[in-house]
Amino acid sequence: MWLLSLTYGLVCVSLVWGRPLEADQDTSVPEEWILVGRADPAEEVELTFALRQQNVDQMKVLLSRLSDPDSAVYGKFLDLADVAQLVQPDRLTQKVVSSWLLRHGVWDCRTVITQDFLQCAMTVEIAETLLPGSRFHRYSREDQFLLRSEFQYSVHEDVSEHLDFVGGLHRFPPRKQEVGKSWSKKRRVAARYHLGVTPAVIRARYNLSASDVGSAANNSQACAQFLEQFYHPADLAEFMSMFGAGFQHHSAVDRVVGTQGVGKAGLEASLDIEYIMSTGANISTWLFTNPGRHESQEPFLQWMVLLSNLTSIPWVHTISYGDDEDSLSNAYMQRINNEFMKAGLRGISMLFASGDSGAGCRHLTKAENSFRPSFPASSPYVTTVGGTSFKNPFKVTHEIVDYISGGGFSNVFDMPEYQASAVNSYLKSMKTLPPTTYFNTSGRAYPDIAALSDNYWIVSNRVPIPWVSGTSASTPVVGGMLSLINDQRFLKGLAPLGFLNPRLYKLQGSGLFDVTEGCHMSCWDEKVSGQGFCAAPSWDPVTGWGTPNYPALLALLLD
């Protein structure tokens, strides 16, 4: 197939056809997506062009100073206009890219405030000449349709150095996480006798009193969802009337950004919003949901683009979305990582679920496996949240590892300085670790923090449902608590917490309940037989520093 040889192939071919920007991107079609047929040449697609930014190194240095509590500029965050000044592509980049687009008849483009993304509508025919190698097909899953190219795209030699990547060709929505369906038999028996996790249990375990609710006028928090799931306002209202007694709360979302689908609500969508709003209670809450209108759009990327075009957005975002690092191109991950830095410069906290497959497993050859890190959980510029269970299902006390809790070491991002000593002490102190061929000790290690992730009650499609589990539960719980801390900071005239990790690691575990018992899952093979990393005193790659003791953590973060 000539298209494939173009992709992986000869240097001389690339001179003629251009240069691939994402040669390492997995372009295979996930099995649940069915090929419908070739896209009509006259059909419209919308593609996202990520223009090369300026001052990325400077941004990195600035972010580490703004998030370091010992720095003189701690908390002196930028607004979006200042971020734009710093990173916007230089004139040459803008000119080269726009004249390349115009030359191909692409004129219907929209930019963002930071000018580093262009979203352009064009016909399939134009897209395929603009991006040699690409061939668009339509795919379906249940009642959804997508346009994607299974074949690598390239761009003209002259523009390749001005673009990071083009979005809308390869990445499929990540697999639906099996929220609430991932218990083992043993756990199901235990669950039958457990009353389950409700807002009252969360608030009791993490020491939230009835008066620990938001009251600052300008505080806000958000969940972002990209799994073609949506929530019903009536479910949230019913959830709050069942479980919201004893603390002041809101029972409605203040703003939905994007298009909500119709039909059945998803478990995941109900979970996020119900728990961020009962932990971060009485705080204005936004929901970001599939913002794309075109079948070529990537919902996660759309959301990132949107953040660069909104001057005022909530201070805390919780997101339960992830892909295997090895399925994504390096160019894409590096650029999304820059986007997280941009958010951090604005004082925004980004919290990602660490994933529900423990250390994960990648089959390299018949006999060889390794762990499988997940992105964005592995980004050094987000706060990643793992999961725990109650040790005794009858008591609201001691937490141990929830074996699904995602964790491990990135193969893409270097270990950031803020965590080096914590991670190295873990590696040194553990008597037994998984074989070193399974993970990369020089990578960013995650998660950073954790919360309960097991046996939640939610309301979905008007029905109360027990036993919902996953780090998509722990993430909004931690997010809600950070929003409460922001609230107290605002009342004292302080800046929001912003990117938390540098400060979190300096606490060395104070303000948190250390989780020291249990291991998470990984490959089922002779070498590791299902076990990944194990928890240990202080930081570990299963539960991070542990779970929040709210009043203690608040006291440590109020200056």
Ligand X SMILES: *[C@@H]1O[C@H](CO)[C@@H](O)[C@H](O)[C@H]1NC(C)=O
HSE on the CB side for 548, CA within 13 Å?
Answer: 30
Of 128, 164, 212, 268, which is the active-site residue?
268
- Nearest-angstrom CA–CA distance, 240 and 314: 22
Q: Residue 112 Cβ, how far from ligand X at the closest point, in Å?
A: 5
Nearer to ligand X by C-beta: 490 or 505?
A: 490
Phi, psi of 445 (to 5 degrees): -100, 145
Of 472, 474, 483, 522, which is the active-site residue?
472
Q: Residue 248 Cβ, how far from ligand X at the closest point, in Å?
A: 4
Q: Please give the structure tokens belonging to residue 270.
A: 């109900």
Q: Residue 533 Cβ, how far from ligand X at the closest point, in Å?
A: 16
Of 116, 128, 235, 272, which is the active-site residue?
272
- Nearest-angstrom CA–CA distance, 557 and 486: 9
In order of 81, 257, 401, the CA distances from 312 in angstroms are: 11, 13, 37
Nearer to ligand X by C-beta: 59 or 307?
A: 307
Pairing of strands 449-452, 383-390: parallel
Nearer to ligand X by C-beta: 413 or 467?
A: 413
Q: How long, in residues, is the chain?
A: 559
- Are the C-beta atoms of 448 and 382 separated by less than 8 Å? no
Q: Please give the structure tokens belonging to residue 35.
A: 């090929």
Q: Residue 461 Cβ, how far from ligand X at the closest point, in Å?
A: 29
Q: Is 21 exposed, middle or buried (0-12, 13-18, 19+ CB in 10 A)?
A: buried
Q: Which residues of 390-412 are buried (b: 16+ CB within 10 A; e: fewer)?
A: beebeebeebbbbbbbbbbbbbb
Nearer to ligand X by C-beta: 403 or 446?
A: 446
Q: Residue 309 Cβ, how far from ligand X at the closest point, in Å?
A: 4
Nearest to 174 by CA among 47, 343, 356: 356
- Is 268 part of the annotated catalytic residue set? yes
Q: Please give the structure tokens belonging to residue 513.
A: 């309940």
Nearer to ligand X by C-beta: 414 or 559?
A: 414
Contacts 24+ apart (CB under 8 A), 68-72: 68/502, 68/503, 69/502, 69/503, 69/506, 69/559, 70/506
> Residue numbers of the site for ligand X (CB under 6 A)?
110, 112, 119, 207, 213-215, 217-218, 220, 248, 282, 305, 309, 312, 314, 411, 413-414, 440, 442-443, 549, 551-552
Q: Residue 93 Cβ, how far from ligand X at the closest point, in Å?
A: 17
Nearer to ligand X by C-beta: 266 or 360?
A: 360
Residues involved in catalysis: 268, 272, 472
